[in-house]
Chains A and B, each alone.
With several copies, the nearest count.
Chain A
Amino acid sequence: MPSWNTVRDDFPALHQQVNGHPLVYLDNGATTQRPQVVIDAVSRFYAHDNANVHRGLHALSMRATAAYEGARARVARFINAAAPEEIIFTRGTTESLNLVAASWGSRLQPGDVILLTEMEHHSNLVPWQLVAARTGAKLRYVPVTGDEGKLDLSVLDQLLTPEVKVFAFTHISNTLGTINPVAELCARARQVGAISVVDAAQSVGHMPVDVRAIGCDFLAFSGHKMAAGTGIGALYGRRELLDAMPPWQGGGGMIAHVGFFESRWKPSPERFEAGTPNFGDAVGLAAACDYLDALGRAQLRRHDGELARLAYQKLSALPNIRLLGPAEEERGGLVSFALSDVHAHDVVTFADEDGIALRGGHHCNQPLMHKLGLTGTVRASFYLYNTAEEIDVLIASIRRIQKFFG
C-alpha cells in the first residue's frame, strides 16, 4: 500500500546519480517513471501466467485471459466507463486517436468539418489531417489566446456550426499546462450533433477523470504517462458508437467469421484489437491504476498543481524569462518557459549537468509554437514523487545558466 511519505522509495529509477548529482526527474510530461509494483506485476505475470489470451482452454491461457480482461475492467473502473467493453487496449494515446480518426472518421464527407484547437499535440492533429485528406472534410481550429494559453471560447459559436462532425481537444495541454473545460466542450459538441474526442494523455494519470461526468464520446490515454509501461494505452468509446464503427486493423481475434472472400467482425472491443494484444503491459497498467488510486487521484492533482504553481511563481521572479500558460491557480502539473538569451536545448544540456531531466523543444506542438513566435520552450513537468526542494534545485540551475550565457 503506497503512502505519500515514502512514495519516492517506490520508484527505483529515481535513486540514481546523474552527472554526479541526485537525479531530479522533471520530464514526466514525456513519460513518468514506473513504481516497482508495476514492474513486478508484469514480471510476475510472465513468470507464472504467461500464455496467449482468448483462444485458449488450458490453465495458463485461462489465467492470462482472466488477467487481461481483469485489466480491462480495472481500466474501465479507473475512468468510470459504463462497461469494460468500452475500453479498447491500444499502444497509447496516438494509436487511440488514429483509431477514432480512421474508423469513425471513415464516414466523413466533403463539406464536413473537423474542429480542433490550436493547442493540440501532433497526435491529435496529424491523424485528422490524414483523414481530412482522404475524405475531403475540412479542418478548423479554436484559437489559443496567446501566452496565457486559454482557448478563446468567445468564437466557439462561430466555429461550432452544424457542419462540424467531430470536435477533438486536449484535456490538459502538454505545453501550456492549460486545463480545458472538457465537460462544457463535450456538451457544446453534442448540441450541434458532433462527437467529442478528448485527448487525456496528460490528465488520466494526474487527476480524477470520469468519462460519464465529462460526457465525452471518446477519450484517449497512454499507460507510460501514468506509471505503467510503454506499449499500452486505451481508447474509451461509447458502446453504441463503437459497435457501429468499421474495423481498422484486421487479423486474428477480431473476426466472427473469415471466408476467403468475405469476413464478419466481432463486436467491440475485440473488433478493434486485431492480433495478439499487449496483455503483459495491460497487467502492468491495471497495477498502475491500483497504485494511483491507493494514493488518491484528488491528492495527486493537488500535489502536481501545487508544484506547478510554486515553479511558476519562482520562475516568474527570474529576469529575461517568458512563461507560457495560465498564470492563475488552476494549471496542470507542468511549466513551460523560454529564456530570451539562452536556447531551450542549451538550458536542457546545462540542467542535465546538474542532474535535472528537462525537455526542450516544440513538445509536438509545432503550429502553436509558430503562432506564438517560438521555436521551442523548456518544460518542467511534475509527478507524484517530485518535491518542492527539486524546484529549488531547478531554479538554482537556471540562474547559473543565465549567468553563464549572460
Chain B
Amino acid sequence: MSADLTELYQQVILDHNKRPRNRGRLPTANRVAHGDNPTCGDQCSVYLRLENGKIADISFDGSGCAISQASSSLMTTQLKGKDAAEAASLYQQFHQIVTTGEAPEAISDLAAFAGVHTFPARIKCATLGWHAALNALKGDPIPATTESRLD
C-alpha cells in the first residue's frame, strides 16, 4: 500500500469508520440539518441540542465512505461543548488540514485527516458532516451540500 494511501486511511480514521461515535438520531435534538454530496449520493444528517448557545449534545447519521463517516464521527467528539464561533473556527482549521495537509500546532485528532489533501476529490467527503453541523447551528433548514464548488 502506498504512503499516500496509508496517510489517507490512518488508524484513527479506520477506527472511527468501524466504530462511529455519536451515531444515530439524537432524541433530544433541537436543531437538525442534512447534507448530501450529489456527485456520489452520500448523505449526512447532524442533530444538535443547543443550550445557552453551546452544543450540549450532538449526533450524526447517514451513509458515506470511510472518510466521510470517520470525519463526521470525529467531528461530533470535537464539537461537544463548543459555541457557534468555536465550531466555525474549528472548521476553518479542519478545512486547512484537508486542503493543505498542514495541521496547526496542538490540534487534536483532526490532524489525522491531513492525508486527504493528496486526494482532492475526497475533500468533499471529509467536509460533508461539517457543512451539515454548521448549517444546523445556523438553524438553516436548507440541505447542506458539498457541491458548492467551495469546500
Knowing A266-B147, A345-B125, A349-B122 touch, does A361 contact B41 (C-beta < 8 A)?
A: yes
Contact string against A for B residues 60-82, beta-carbon threshold 8 Å, 1 for contact and 0 otherwise: 00011111010000000000000
Partner of B36, one of A65, A257, A344, A404: A257
Separation of A255 and B14 alpha carbons in the complex (Å): 31
Determine if A267 and B148 form an interchain contact, defined as CB atoms under 8 angstroms apart.
Answer: yes
Docked pose: A353 CA to B115 CA in angstroms: 14
- Indicate whether A55 reaches chain B with its CB closer than 8 angstroms: yes
The answer, yes or no, to whether B135 is at the interface (CB within 8 Å) is no
Count A-B pairs with CB separation below 8 Å. Answer: 80
Docked-complex contact B148 and A376, CB < 8 angstroms: no
Q: Which of A19, A360, A375 counts the most chain B CB atoms within 10 A?
A: A375
CB A294 to nearest CB in B, in angstroms, measures 28
B39 touches A54 (CB 8 A): yes
- Tally of chain A residues near chain B (CB < 8 A): 34
B122 contact set on A, CB distance < 8 A: 57, 345, 349
Contact A62 to B39, CB < 8 A, known contacts A267-B147, A346-B66: no
**Quick one: CB contact mask for A255-272 with B, threshold 8 Å, 1 for yes?**
111000000001100100
Given A343-B64, A343-B65: A366 in contact with B41 (beta carbons within 8 A)? yes
Task: Assess whether B147 is in contact with A376, with CB atoms less than 8 Å apart.
Answer: no
Stretch of B1-9, B45-53, B84-92 that contacts chain A:
B1-9
Contact B8 A375 (CB under 8 A): no
Is A55's CB under 8 angstroms from B39's CB? yes
Among A266, A349, A375, A405, contact of B63 (Cβ-Cβ < 8 Å)? A375
User: A349 with B5: in contact, given A62-B120, A343-B65 (CB under 8 Å)?
Assistant: yes
Assuming the contacts A270-B147, A344-B65, A404-B1, asked whether A360 and B120 have C-beta atoms less than 8 A apart, the reply is no
B127 contacts partner chain A, Cβ-Cβ < 8 Å: no
**Given known A256-B145, A343-B65, A375-B63, contact A349–B40 (CB-CB < 8 A):** no
Q: Are A376 and B1 in contact (CB under 8 A)?
A: no
Instruction: State the Cβ distance, A396 to closest chain B Cβ, in Å.
Output: 13
B99 CB → nearest A CB, Å = 15
Task: Say whether, besides A19-B2, A353-B2, A345 and B65 are in contact (CB < 8 Å).
Answer: yes
Shortest beta-carbon distance, A346 to chain B, in Å? 5
Which residues of chain A in 330-354 are interfacial with respect to chain B, using CB atoms and an 8 Å cutoff? 342-346, 349-350, 353
Partner of B38, one of A66, A255, A349, A405: A255
> Does B43 lie within 8 Å of A375, measured CB to CB?
yes
Question: B36 touching A343 by the CB < 8 A rule?
Answer: no
* A369 lies within 8 A of chain B by Cβ: yes
A344 to B67, CA, bound (A): 12
A95 CB–B CB distance under 8 Å: no
Q: Beta-carbon contacts of B28-60 to A below 8 Å, as 1s and 0s?
A: 000000001011111100000000000000000
Could you list which residues of chain B lie within 8 angstroms of chain A, going by C-beta atoms? 1-2, 4-5, 8-9, 14, 36, 38-43, 63-67, 69, 119-122, 125, 143, 145, 147-149
List 5 A-B pairs, Cβ < 8 Å: A54-B39, A55-B40, A346-B67, A375-B42, A375-B64
Identify the 5 closest CB pairs spanning chains A and B, nearest first: A345-B65, A343-B65, A362-B41, A361-B40, A375-B41
